[in-house]
Amino acid sequence: EPEVTQTPSHQVTQMGQEVILRCVPISNHLYFYWYRQILGQKVEFLVSFYNNEISEKSEIFDDQFSVERPDGSNFTLKIRSTKLEDSAMYFCASSERPGTGGNEQFFGPGTRLTVL
């Protein structure tokens, strides 16, 4: 069964460093998303992406974040200068159609980012 994959499963970095989290969405999906979950807190929406541009972003998704689809398969989240509070589990998701209207988003297993 097709699934969303994410690498690495765990990333440890020093504060101020740049990190890139990678995701491979399901191959025929066109809509892509990033969410994060700080330990013990809610899963929070970061950004949605379609047709090579951001469709929507939350207030969390500030200038230190960026997303890219560098080729036909990968979808990346870059954090330019990591802060301690960026430590969280980051989930990638994809959907065949827009997430609105009750269309299912398929989630990857997550990347645990630890900022020291």
Q: Are 86 and 79 in contact (CB under 8 A)?
A: yes
Query: Which range touches another protein (CB under 8 A), out of 11-19, 40-48, 62-70, 73-81?
Result: 40-48
Site for another protein in 14-33 (CB under 8 A): 31, 33
Size of the site for another protein (CB under 8 A): 32
- In whole angstroms, give the CA distance from residue 31 to residue 46: 14
Establish if 105 lies at the interface with another protein (CB under 8 A): yes
3-state secondary structure of 50: strand
The structure tokens 């097709």 sit at 2
69: its two tokens? 């689809």
Establish if 38 lies at the interface with another protein (CB under 8 A): no
Which residue, 33 or 65, has its beta carbon nearer to another protein? 33
Q: Are 13 and 113 in contact (CB under 8 A)?
A: yes
Positions that interact with another protein (CB under 8 A): 3-4, 6, 9, 31, 33, 35, 41-45, 48, 50, 55-56, 58, 91, 93, 95, 98-102, 104-110
